Amino acid sequence: MPIGVIAKLRVKEGKNREFEAIFKQLAQAVDENEPGNNFYELHKSNSDPQLYIVLEQYIDEDALAAHDETEHIQTLGAQLVPCMAAPPDIEFMMAV
């Protein structure tokens, strides 16, 4: 059963461009290297310029677990940390 993820990411002021550039690389790596990922899309809030939402979906729990272990999540994820104003707020959901 597919697993949905909503990740809310708060970015430091002045770090938006850097964050978006790194995330673009990350999304491309997910798309190219994770066949168990259905989508991995970044959205920016219309009301809060520092708030980003990542909408993700994986074919199953194994694909989600594999995502966290990929080299691109480890390396590019680490590059995102200096841009972050707070830890991510992540919600997991089951498809219905």
Give per-10-residue mean pLDDT for the chain (96 aa): 97 98 98 98 98 98 96 96 98 96
- In this structure, what token pair is assigned to residue 19? 């964050």
pLDDT at 64: 97
- In this structure, what token pair is assigned to residue 26? 């990350």
pLDDT at 26: 98
57 has which bridge partners?
Answer: 4, 39
pLDDT at 59: 98
pTM for this structure? Answer: 0.93
pLDDT at 86: 98
The answer to whether 10 and 90 have CB atoms below 8 angstroms apart is: no
pLDDT at 79: 97
| Cβ partners under 8 Å of residue 12, min gap 6 | 50, 83, 84, 85
Give the HSE-up count for residue 92: Cα atoms under 13 Å, Cβ half-sphere: 8
CA 13 – CA 32 distance, rounded (Å): 30
Set out the domains of the chain in order of their start, with CATH numbers.
3-94 (3.30.70.100)
pLDDT at 87: 97
